[in-house]
Structure 1
Amino acid sequence: MSRSDRLFDLIQRLRAAKKPLRAADLARSLEVTERTIYRDMAALQSMRVPVEGAAGIGYVMRSGFDLPPVNFDAEEVEAILVGLSLLARTGDKALLKAAGRVGSKLGTVLPPDRSKLLDGRHLQVSRWGVATDIKLDMGQLRQAIREERKLGIRYVDERGRRSTRKLRPIGIIYWIEVVVLVAWCEKRRALRHFRLDRIEACRLLKEDFRGQGDGLRAKWQAEAADLAAR
């Protein structure tokens, strides 16, 4: 979570709290250190957010502080709601948690007549899709793609044969029943698709491939277009 997102989250928690929130409890739930919480509270106070309290006592927010409403119309809110609900089909637990945070933020900043749409009772989305037993940290995979960092994996193919690979990951495809990692395989010296449910182990390497991601994605798209044209 970025610092700006964490500050936003802290504001939400303080506004909803019925009693002072301890730095230790906030640090535990946000997975940061208490020192980080102290710094964040000082930052909020410097931005004139009405936070009161101190280390060892707890923090509260004076009443009357509101975030500005976000101007989404009803259909836009429903589009976001359905999109967030569809994430349950991907098997990506990190994205599902992020979707929960998005919904919580929207509920805070939407006008009352829009925020009530977020209860989702009038729009139901089937959760059938990718099995939820994917053991990989999919947030780590997406991080590797964003930062153009190499991955080391142990893979089992459809015949049960095991191999170790060094990959340059460039994309993830969320199919209906499986999730596939698209990557340049240094062993095969070609672009390959790897089903996540067949990756037994995965680690983020210190090596990177910065500046190559866009070119590899263009190559992948060209190969896919050529295959579709045949």
Structure 2
Amino acid sequence: MSRTERLLDLLQLLRNRRSPVAGEQLAQELRISIRTLYRDIATLQAQGADIRGEPGLGYVLRPGFTLPPLMFSVEEIEALVLGSRWVEQRREDPRLSAAAASLLSKVSAVLPDSIRDTVEATSLLVARSDVVPTIVDLGAIRAAIRGQNKLALAYDKGDGAGSERVVWPFAVAFFEHVRVVLAWCELRQDFRAFRLDRITRLDVLPERYAARRAALLKQWREREGIRHPDPAAN
């Protein structure tokens, strides 16, 4: 492993942790001596990484220090391309689709030639699939989630019966053929999942809901028994 690769690995280890991690543990994971670790920490600090801590107390990387895309590995580039192309081909949200195409263009522009070829000639292809059409604006739902705005919607339950709901949206689930908005329903006083193709009318309300959307997502995960992915475990 080159010193550059080691410094990048050290940064990634620190970024994956929200609390201070002991220098001995970092050195063990990187398979280097503790003295080499101290030198690498000092090098990263000199290059602008806001690493707090000191020997014996542990280290933590403060938010704000980012790596340019040219530091991505080939596998990371392939994952980025595959995910972006999947989003780009899902045309029910034109703004998100355009953003995915723009993302690939920006990343390609700053990559070295050897890695840029991977973006253009990757053998990982995205197959087209038929998504049940919707009449609601998925972009508006995403904006409501970001702003924690309530939604007023008319919903067809699939049996011909309809209902009016006011919900607190906190996530959108992308299944192969349908899209589902996850929300807290004021009528049911519980979590509910609403298929977008069954929403016949949708209005974004100016009123914001009191709960944090991250907290709602966490509560929903816990109730459904869905374990949150832990990047530090990889």
Question: One fold, TM greater than 0.5?
Answer: yes
| Residue identity in the other structure for 1:104 | S
Unaligned runs of 5+ in 2: 1-67, 227-234
The CA distance in 1 between the partners of 2:182 and 2:189, in whole Å, is: 13
Counterparts of 1:108 and 1:184, CA distance in 2: 42
Residues 173-192 of structure 1 mapped to structure 2, 5 A cutoff: 173-192=173-192
User: TM-score scaled by structure 2?
Assistant: 0.61
- Structure 2 distance, partners of 1:210, 1:135, is 28
- 1:102 deviates by 0.3
Segments of 5+ residues of structure 1 without an aligned counterpart are 1-67
CA distance in 2, matches of 1:149, 1:69: 33
TM-score, length-normalised on structure 1? 0.62
Q: Aligned equivalents of 2:110 and 2:154: distance in 1? A: 44
Distance 1:101 1:146 in 2: 21
Q: Which amino acid aligns with 1:103?
A: L
Contact 2:144/2:204 (8 A) holds in 1: yes
Q: 1:90·1:129 contact (CA, 8 Å) conserved in 2?
A: no
The residue type paired with residue 86 of structure 2 is L
Deviation at 1:148, TM superposition (A): 0.8
State the match for 2:203 in structure 1: 203
2:106 is aligned with what amino acid? Answer: K
Take 2:84 and 2:167, find their aligned partners in 1: how far apart are those partners? 30
Q: Is 2:217 aligned against 1:217?
A: yes
Partner Cα distance (2:178, 2:153) in 1 = 18
Percent identical residues: 34
Listed one character per residue, the Cα deviations across residues 44-100 of structure 1 (whole Å, up to 9, x for unaligned) are xxxxxxxxxxxxxxxxxxxxxxxx872223222111111112223584333211100
Q: Is the 8 A contact 1:169 1:184 kept in 2?
A: yes
Kept after mapping to 1: 8 A contact 2:78/2:122:
no
SS across alignment from 1:188 = coil
Q: For this pair of structures, how many residues does the alignment match?
A: 158
User: What residue number does 1:57 align with?
Assistant: none
